[in-house]
């Protein structure tokens, strides 16, 4: 079952169960997918949908941070609940140790010598980790390895 089909089926289930939060979150995801399909003028595959989901996760995390600053705990709870639903469709996240090991392998593969080679390493590494790790976390690990 493709991710697109799974989202649609889960939306139907949420509507049957009258789960308001899940229904609105899945509709939001599907709307983002449809908007991207319209922009690209072609249907998205699972990788394209995962990219949208990663964007949604990042947006929700930023919103949670801002709502914490504004002391809007009611909105923090809502965003966290939506984020939990979105994460159910993301692949299993890799650990810090796995990122470090993969970064070391990528550094060795491209023959990186220092921080100036960060672009080469990230170009090699990110396709493997897309959707499985936060890009800023990967960037931080690579920068530490190249500096040290």
Q: What is the pLDDT of residue 8?
A: 95
The CATH number for 58's domain is 1.10.1510.10
Instruction: Verify that 82 and 101 share a domain, yes or no.
Output: no
Instruction: Verify that 18 and 67 share a domain, yes or no.
Output: yes
pTM of the predicted structure, to 2 decimals = 0.75
For residues 7 and 10, give the distance between their C-alpha atoms in angstroms, rounded to a whole number. 5
CB 50 within 8 A of CB 130: yes
For residues 80 and 105, give the distance between their C-alpha atoms in angstroms, rounded to a whole number. 34
Span 39-51, pLDDT tens digits: 999 999 988 998 8
Alpha-carbon 26 to chain mean position: 15
For residues 51 and 90, give the distance between their C-alpha atoms in angstroms, rounded to a whole number. 10
Instruction: Verify that 109 and 66 share a domain, yes or no.
Output: no
């Amino acid at each position: 079952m493709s991710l697109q089909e799974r989202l649609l089926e889960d939306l139907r289930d949420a509507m049957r169960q009258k789960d308001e939060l899940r229904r609105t979150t899945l509709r939001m995801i599907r709307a983002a997918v449809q908007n991207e399909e319209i922009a690209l003028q072609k249907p998205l595959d699972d990788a394209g949908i995962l990219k949208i989901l990663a964007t949604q996760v990042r947006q929700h995390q930023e919103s949670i941070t801002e709502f914490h600053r504004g002391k809007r705990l009611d909105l923090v709870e809502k965003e966290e609940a939506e984020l939990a639903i979105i994460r159910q469709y993301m692949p299993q996240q890799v650990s810090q140790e796995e990122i470090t090991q993969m970064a070391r392998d990528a550094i060795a593969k491209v023959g990186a010598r220092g921080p100036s080679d960060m672009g080469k390493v990230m170009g090699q590494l990110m396709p493997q980790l897309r959707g499985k790790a936060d890009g800023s976390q990967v960037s931080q690990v690579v920068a530490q390895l190249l500096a040290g």
